[in-house]
Structure 1
């Protein structure tokens, strides 16, 4: 990421993404893929969440979905108008669809998802001609930190699986 890109984000953007990284660490402590997210309205955090798919036995329990569910309850409305979602990893198609349905105004993500990114890396649901709502999507905030957190997790996970496999032989 160039310094020019880094300079387009505000101090508040950095603060909120740093908090999302902390939330991703909570996911990791629970054995989940370390993705954290939070929703902000009027510079205040409305809801926070992290991946919980494994522990909840729920494929939809991604960080973004967890946040949208909580925020809907807090605001007593599924339409989360004039909000910003900060998430450490680019939303997948499921999460991108939910963000569009929720009318989140702005999405800021850290690391691109090279396998399933639906905010511009693999496909872009936010700019699809069938989209009935549009959101401003900004990428690359604290990208290296977000990417490193995920890479370290998967490296450790592969090492653990290899060790477990070797102990069986």
Structure 2
């Protein structure tokens, strides 16, 4: 639980929990994973957290959101997160957006937009598709510069290492 002023605005609360998601992203980065982090919050308490673990777990579905949602459901022993908020450092992809809808999360807060694969407003908008049985309130752009910088610098570092090794194609 965060020690926030009881009079904190929703924006201040979102900033504080996004900072926790950023810390998760930094854990991923320390493991040479793509630095994306997520936390699930219910009643002001973190009930699930996750960071990308695709390489570590040798699993293309081991995204931060998926891990955080699974942890949250396990923590409260329910398959739906109907009163929780998911905070994630980058706009979720279609797989994660589908999981958000299936978990019936009412609210999603993300940092940076993903112009290539974002499924919460950038490329697709699965979480607000009226054809589905559940729609999600979306708040984007929370700590967006910090979140985007984490990703950008990570991939720049990888490209630089490849240039130095003469292996640009890998």
Fold shared by both chains (TM-score > 0.5): yes
For structure 2, which runs of at least 5 residues remain unmatched after alignment? 1-8
What is the CA distance between 1:157 and its match in structure 2?
A: 0.6
Deviation at 1:130, TM superposition (A): 2.2
Contact in 1 for aligned 2:47/2:75 (Cα 8 Å): yes
1:5 counterpart residue number = none
- 1:1-80 equivalences in 2 (<5 Å): 9-80=10-81
Tell me if the contact between 1:26 and 1:50 (Cα under 8 Å) persists in the aligned partners. yes
The answer to whether the Cα contact below 8 Å between 2:112 and 2:140 also exists between their aligned partners in 1 is yes
Report which of the two has the higher share of helix. Answer: 1
**Deviation digits for residues 13-46 of structure 1, max 9, x if unmatched?**
1110011111100000001000000000001110
Deviation readout 1:31-62 (Å, 9 max, x if unpaired):
10000000000011101110001110000000
Q: CA deviation at 1:126?
A: 1.5
Runs of 4+ in 1 over 3 A off after TM superposition: none
In the superposition, the TM-score normalised over structure 1's length comes to: 0.91
Structure 1: gaps (5+ residues):
1-7
* Cα pair 1:105 1:136 within 8 Å, conserved: yes
How high is the TM-score relative to the length of structure 2?
0.91
State the aligned residue count. 159
Contact residue 37 and residue 63 of structure 1 kept, 8 A: yes
The separation in 2 between residues aligned to 1:27 and 1:107, in whole angstroms, is 21
